[in-house]
Amino acid sequence: MSRWLSLCLLCACLSPVTAQAASYDCTQATTPAEIAVCADPGLNRLDEELAVLYRSLLNELPARQADRVQQDQRSWLKARNSCGAEVRCLRARYQERIARLNQY
């Protein structure tokens, strides 16, 4: 029985762990900004916070306002991506967007 348990633990330790940020699968990250967010725990937490806030707003707001938030999000993603892999820039973009969404 202990061999079975040891084998199971070994397999669990060797199996790949999928990196996941709240808004996207890090194994599918392609842009420098996405890769940087996945690599930095602080940015990853900001991404998770933003994703939860964004989804919550879309579910709570009237359709017209939700559409506006979605359009703003697309513009924000372009601004975020313009940071490339620059962590300070990305952190600032996330903090600004979270503050903006908290105004709704």
CB 57 within 8 Å of CB 101: yes
Q: Where are the beta strands (DSSP E) in the chain?
A: none
Tell me the pLDDT tens digit for each residue of 28-47: 999 999 999 999 999 999 99
Given this model, what pLDDT does residue 73 score? 97
Indicate if the pLDDT at residue 52 is higher than 90. yes
Quick one: pLDDT band at residue 79, thresholds 50, 70, 90?
Answer: very high
Residue 25 tokens read as 């699968």
What is the number of alpha carbons within 13 Å of residue 61 lying toward its C-beta? 18
Q: Is the pLDDT of residue 22 over 60?
A: no
Q: How far apart are CA 101 and CA 104, in angstroms?
A: 6
Question: Which has more confidence, 20 or 88?
Answer: 88
Number of neighbours of residue 71 by Cβ within 10 angstroms: 10
Q: Could you tell me the pTM of the whole model?
A: 0.78
* Residue 23 confidence (pLDDT): 81
Which pLDDT score is estimated for 10? 42
